[in-house]
Copies of this chain bind each other. A is one copy, B any other.
């Protein structure tokens, strides 16, 4: 048990693993409290409902994705390599899942999107918003690659959404196959979506 001010972070951190492992509907507040080592009163102090926790969970996921784009941007590598790095980081996250939870848990946003988008319009819009921000991150990298002459004649806006879709699908296959290697194997496809076939990308 840490200080009360740590409780909120511990609850979110615990939900990060549990929601991705068992689904939002498959995890109760009681289980989260036990795993996080906080009392129910403390949970409800920070999150009036489980749904409020989901909103914080989405915010953390958005922050994580934006952090990934900052990280690859700071690498100073060519833009195409930065796009591939995002997939390599995803593969790394899948490996961490296996180490910590015994299996690939998948993308926090993708999992949530397919579990219960239909039943909550506000959450659907929040999730769609995260996908838009991810697309914005890829669009920036594609525009950088265009300006640097690494590629040409690519529709940055359309392609960026295609890459987000591919990122989510690849992560889904890794989760379903319980194999982080799937992300690594399929990463080159992200470059194919902007006209760079594997043989040229290497």
Give me the interface of A with B, judged by CB distance under 8 Å: 21-23, 25-26, 103, 105-106, 110-111, 113-119, 124, 127-128, 131, 153, 158-159, 161-162, 164-170, 172-173, 175-178, 182, 185-186, 189, 192-195, 197, 199
Contact across chains for B25 and A176 when beta carbons are under 8 A apart = no
Shortest distance in angstroms between A150's beta carbon and chain B's nearest beta carbon? 16
Partner of A161, one of B25, B119, B173: B173
Instruction: List, in ascending order, chain B residues with CB within 8 A of A117's CB.
Output: 106, 175-176, 178
In whole angstroms, how far apart are the Cα atoms of A136 and B103 in the complex? 25
Taking CB atoms, residues of chain B closer than 8 Å to A166 are 162, 165-166, 169, 189
Q: Is the CB of A165 within 8 A of B172?
A: yes
Of B116, B165, B189, the contact of A23 (CB 8 Å cutoff)? B116
Separation in Å of the A181 CB from the closest CB of chain B? 12
Contacts of A110 in B (CB 8 A): 114, 172
Closest chain B CB from A142 CB (angstroms): 13
Q: Given contacts A23-B23, A165-B169, list 8 more A-B pairs with CB under 8 A.
A: A113-B114, A113-B175, A114-B115, A117-B178, A158-B185, A159-B189, A161-B186, A172-B172
A181 to B144, CA, bound (A): 28
Q: In this complex, what residue of B is CB-closest to A20?
A: B118
A114→B173 contact, CB < 8 A: no
Known contacts A22-B119, A115-B114, A165 near B176 by CB under 8 Å = no
